[in-house]
Amino acid sequence: MPPAPGTDFPAKAVPLREDVGVLGALLGDVIKAQGGEELFNRVEKARLAARDRRSGDSEAAAELLSTLGDLTPNDAQEVVRAFSAYFGLVNLAEKIHRIRRGRTYLADESGPQPGGLHAVIAELAEGGCSADELLAIIRSMRVVPVFTAHPTESHRRTLLLKDQRIARALVDRIDPAKLLPRENQAALARIKEEVATAWQTEEFLRIRPEVADEVEQTAFYLSDAIYRVLPALYDQIHTAFQKTYGSDITEKINKPVLTFASWVGGDMDGNPKVGADTISATLFRHRELILRRYRAELEDLFGRFSHSLSRVDIATDLRNRISNYETEMPAILDTISPRYRDMPYRVFLSYVAARVDATRADAEHAYSSPEELLSDLHCIEESLSEHRGEHAGQHRILRLIRRVQTFGFHLATLDVRQDALMHRTVVGHLLGAEGFLEMDREQRTALLEAALADPAHTPSNIEQPEVVQALAVIHAIKDGLQRFGKRAVGPYIISMAQGPDDALALLYLAKVGGLEDENGCTPLDVAPLFETVNDLQHGPATMAALFDNPVYRDHLKARGDHQVIMLGYSDSNKDSGFVASRWALYQAQIGLSETCRDAKIGNTLFHGRGGTVSRGGGKTRDAVLASPPGTVGGSLRVTEQGEIIHAKYGLRGIALRTMELMLGAVLEVEARDDTEEAPDPRWIEVMDRMAVASRQSYRSLVYDDPAFVQYFREATPIDVIERLLIGSRPASRRSGAGVENLRAIPWVFAWTQCRHILPGWYGLHAGLEAVRAQFGTDILKEMAAKWRPFSNLLADVEMVLAKADMPIAGQYAKLCADVGDQYYSVIHTAFDETCEHLCAIQGTTTLLENEPVLYRAIQLRNPYVDPMSLLQVDLLKRWRAGGSTDEELLHALFTTVKGIAGGLQNTG
């Protein structure tokens, strides 16, 4: 499969074109060998017809439909797998090209790679920031990517490992001209082997994964690629300072600026499989995995640290520690070979390794905390520093120190999340308050305050099943904090929080469950999550009322007067549409930050961003730079959804780039915040008008028209998605076929599959038209040129529109016999109007005219997504006609879902 014709590859992208060409030819060989000439010819015929259709050939569309019509489920599945395999290789080739471009910048002394730490630090230095000022900002930064599971994440770990091996082979031939012919052929042979074995591997599990499977999947990225490249991130900071200021700051960053968290195993919201047991098991597994990595690294250091006392001395502190360990742990000394007794670092590392083993086993001589381990490691580093060890191992021990500082004994902080309604139900039982759910917030707050203030309070109904489960979670958190340390458990997030009583309800549960320290304080951060547009708008008032509550204020004081507040991107978009959601989130960040400042409370805004634009996704760097002035505060906590973790952290080079872009953005925003001007008040007025009009348009279609749900359920493959066995969490929060009951992720996933991608743009046409009528077009052009939040919004929508395909969407609309034409006409008209508005504002004639790299990436894919989409339509029609019971057709549909997701690089 060659690249789509007409795809423009500038000189710097020629290696990408060559990689895609080589990989496409290799895939063709595999298809012939594995599926036979008939399959290969069918795929080629479909590919050529899809290509010609995109080129405007009026007969090609009919040819494509004819080629793909009435295939057996197995034949359809094989065709889809061929295209899906192509996209998998193209995606890998693009990642390798990103790594190649990064290396090019490193080799070119003309300037650093844009967006990277070196570029940001150099730019800030040119703007007048001193080394001390930047160092102070870096030392105060708190950046936390939070990994989540994903009910539409369709990558099997077995296939992820194959991807990594293919990527390593591609890296080996990153510059084929410098390889011997046999080296190039060996790399291609390894790739072909992985592609062929992947072809023979089942793409989908036949059973739904358990929470433990998702924990392993997430921990795989943390303990593999991220663990390996993390020290290089600090090396980049040090190199950037050295080149920019001529100063060495190696010893001046003594705590991590980047740490990790996870929801996997702790997110109970709507997932009955998550609870006390999974919280405890996840915390234990996290510790096991990270201590195992430390143990392997200590073993490696043992092999390298052959320093002999006859050649070099050691520090007095190290000598004393060895002596103490010989006394305290004589059995370990007996295991050290006599030939190593003259090698003090090996002797000392043997004791350190033994204590790590004891920590894993909860045995005698275990480290009581990561700080104790760090003390031993610092002792080695200081000894090396004092005795000519700069190039004799010091850097290696510093790398391990950075890892222990970051991952501790917990790998990733485990957040806990539960729906506020569930808490209210449980608390109503415990208080013995009949009608608690029907009370107003003030009444609930008063009851909770009284119970929290009463030391003799006795809870009721503690045998109720919901109460037992909720208190078991509190006990698991308490045990986790005691066994694994205070960093092991993160904030407790309250979904759909609406009032101060929701936060007090959690403090009350903690009190009843015994989660209080010696001072009677709850050692847990309470994090309200505002999810709908209405809740976001009322968020500042809710937090102000909470800060005024004396019970909660005492809790905050014990937590260092710092508040975590989470913002929900997915549900606000599903609730009110893309534009209204974006604007509500922007205003909420300002209002919440001001509320916290007025109350003299520090805060971290926790961004619950999804992987797609429709759920707040997009480039993290752009989103951070578009934050309202004064709302970041050197702190970024953001979800990394399961669907994009593989894309952002699956390969070491990409993981490193992901992390440095994140840090660079926070550094840049924090350094500029004092000087950035507030947006023009006219722009605020424009956005207010746009948000209202777009929300009205979106809700009138999605919620106010009762027949629209039929179009959604028939013109999208939502019924297939609901049957996919790829996540432990159900697709719906509650029973019922309505849009309001469906989770945001499958809602977006379904619209993406059918190429409408409606949640990522619908409503904007009405918003822009309302603004044009009231304010004119010139102010929109001004905002696009001068205001990053608005230009980002347009860029995100433009990308979504470019991935959508209305003619293909029209084929899906035909699946909805009764109202398909009606709704498709409305959507198609809105789509065209949105495209026209965007081009008018940006002064372009086509989408992505100013984004050639993104345009090329989409052009590489869209022609070859089309055959899979048309196959999906045909299979859906046949499957539903048979009562949705044919398992062969369903399995073929599963394959189309995965293939289209890979081609568009989007799920939910």
Give me the active site residues, please. Answer: 150, 574
Rg from Cα positions in the chain:
29
Nearest alpha carbon to residue 534 among 580, 591, 594: 580
Check if the beta carbon of residue 420 is closer than 8 Å to that of residue 498: yes
Name the 3-class secondary structure at 442. helix
Name the 3-class secondary structure at 134. helix
- 442 Cβ neighbours under 8 A, 6+ residues apart: none
Query: How far apart are the C-alpha atoms of 813 and 806, rounded to whole Å?
Result: 10
Token pair in block for residue 425:
């139900």
Query: How far apart are the C-alpha atoms of 431 and 186, rounded to whole Å?
Result: 70
Nearest alpha carbon to residue 102 among 88, 114, 89: 114
Token pair in block for residue 858:
């989409």
Classify 152 in phi/psi space as left (phi over 0), alpha (psi -120 to 50) or beta.
alpha
Q: What is the largest CA-CA distance in the chain?
A: 89
Q: How many helices (H) and strands (E) does the chain have?
A: 37, 8
Query: How far apart are the C-alpha atoms of 178 and 174, rounded to whole Å?
Result: 9
Q: Where are the alpha helices (DSSP H) in 776-886?
A: 778-786, 788-803, 806-813, 820-842, 852-881
Query: How far apart are the C-alpha atoms of 473 and 439, rounded to whole Å?
Result: 26
Nearest alpha carbon to residue 529 among 492, 555, 583: 492
Query: How far apart are the C-alpha atoms of 27 and 484, rounded to whole Å?
Result: 47
Partners of residue 527 on adjacent β-strands: 493
Nearest alpha carbon to residue 243 among 255, 253, 235: 235
Compute the half-sphere exposure of residue 717: CA atoms within 13 Å on the CB side of its CA. 37
- 837 Cβ neighbours under 8 A, 6+ residues apart: 764, 765, 768, 769, 772
